[in-house]
Amino acid sequence: MNQQNTTKKIISCSFKNLSNKKEMDKISITDIMDQTDYRRQTFYDHFDDKYDLITWIFSYDVTDLIQHLMKWQNWEEVLFHLLNYLEENRVYYKKIISTIKLDSFKDYFIYYIKKSIQSLADDYLQTHPISDGNSVLIKTKIDFCAYGLSEMLYHWVLEDCDPTATDYHELLITVIYFKI
Amino acid sequence: MNQQNTTKKIISCSFKNLSNKKEMDKISITDIMDQTDYRRQTFYDHFDDKYDLITWIFSYDVTDLIQHLMKWQNWEEVLFHLLNYLEENRVYYKKIISTIKLDSFKDYFIYYIKKSIQSLADDYLQTHPISDGNSVLIKTKIDFCAYGLSEMLYHWVLEDCDPTATDYHELLITVIYFKI
């Protein structure tokens, strides 16, 4: 991990830690930095604001988990890691999702899921070339799955990750594979 | 149409008419009622607020279009009517969707799509009984399709209903029927 990411991780840990004790809206940048050895200004050297920090945490954590798996044949495993990560951090993410002001996180969440599905599809298409006419269809399918999946995961976190990550993974795989 | 719905329709027409000329946020109840022969109070006899009116318009219009079709074998036709309705009213719905304060409409939109898919699935299940174990799977599938579809329609309206309702209908049907 480079120095910049180390600092970012320390700030993230402070924020996650505080989120267990205080309402999300009530956590100030001063609160976050008071728990570290850095000055308050260091926060702004690395993040624009609290919302930027929240999206960075999600992106950094999940990318770390799945980036070595981003091949089409691993898509079920990618989903499994994502579900387990959300389950492990369910208290933190439920708080984020339940905070109305953090609607921008939802947009980022959907964007990230979409980008990951796109990346998996790109890998598939490298060995399965398609005609121009079919590319619109593939794009529509990716959008449909990304929207469906991100909303499902979002609501699953709101319902305290019930059923468990393992059971929900099996259920989602079946749903995605089955015809309507 | 009963008297109550007639009054509601007159208020709705006034609002839709105003929405072509003014920003959604700037339309007051007084503006809406000034264009009718009713007193301002009549609005509150029928609706809680402007947001209640907006959800009523969507629900009334779409229900009117699809309620006689709510059989499983007609689901493609139901989708076709919905797409055509959104396309015909795209200027109005794009304004609603683009107004941040109307996020509650999005929740209602998703709820309505989900309820309709549930209703179609219920009709299917009347002649195709399933075991208890499969009911969780069916519920998950309904949620997945409802979330996927409502977000797709939402973004399609934001992109000025491009491709056309007819083309998009064909595309969505193919996407929903195809395995991933």
List chain B residues with CB under 8 Å of A178: 141, 179
- Asked if pLDDT for residue B179 goes beyond 60, the answer is no
- The ipTM (two decimal places) reads 0.82
- Please give the C-alpha separations between residue A52 and each of A8, A96, B127, in angstroms, as whole numbers: 11, 13, 51
Mean of pLDDT values over B110-127:
88
**Cβ burial B71-98 (10 Å sphere, 16+ → b, else e):** ebebbeebbbbbbbbbbebbebbbbbbe
B135 touches chain A (CB under 8 A): no
Tell me the pLDDT tens digit for each residue of B10-22: 999 999 999 989 9
Mean of pLDDT values over B54-60:
95
Pick from A1, A7, A12, A2: nearest CA to A45: A7
List chain A residues with CB under 8 Å of B180: 141, 145, 176-177
B108 CB-side CA count, 13 A:
17
Across the interface, do A140 and B179 touch by the CB < 8 Å criterion? Answer: no
The span from the CA of A81 to the CA of B80, in Å, is 38
Tell me the pLDDT tens digit for each residue of A16-29: 999 989 998 899 99
Average pLDDT in chain B: 90
Q: Determine the residue type at A152.
A: M
Nearest CA in chain B to A151: B147
Q: What is the pLDDT of residue B176?
A: 84
Mean of pLDDT values over B84-96:
94
Average pLDDT in chain A: 90
Residues 22-41 of B with CB under 8 A from A: none
Across the interface, do B152 and A136 touch by the CB < 8 Å criterion? Answer: no
Choose the weakest-confidence range: A81-90, A126-135, B85-94, B156-165: A126-135
Q: What is the pLDDT of residue B180?
A: 47
The span from the CA of B19 to the CA of B92, in Å, is 7
Minimal C-alpha gap between A47 and chain B (Å): 25
List chain B residues with CB under 8 Å of A176: 144, 180
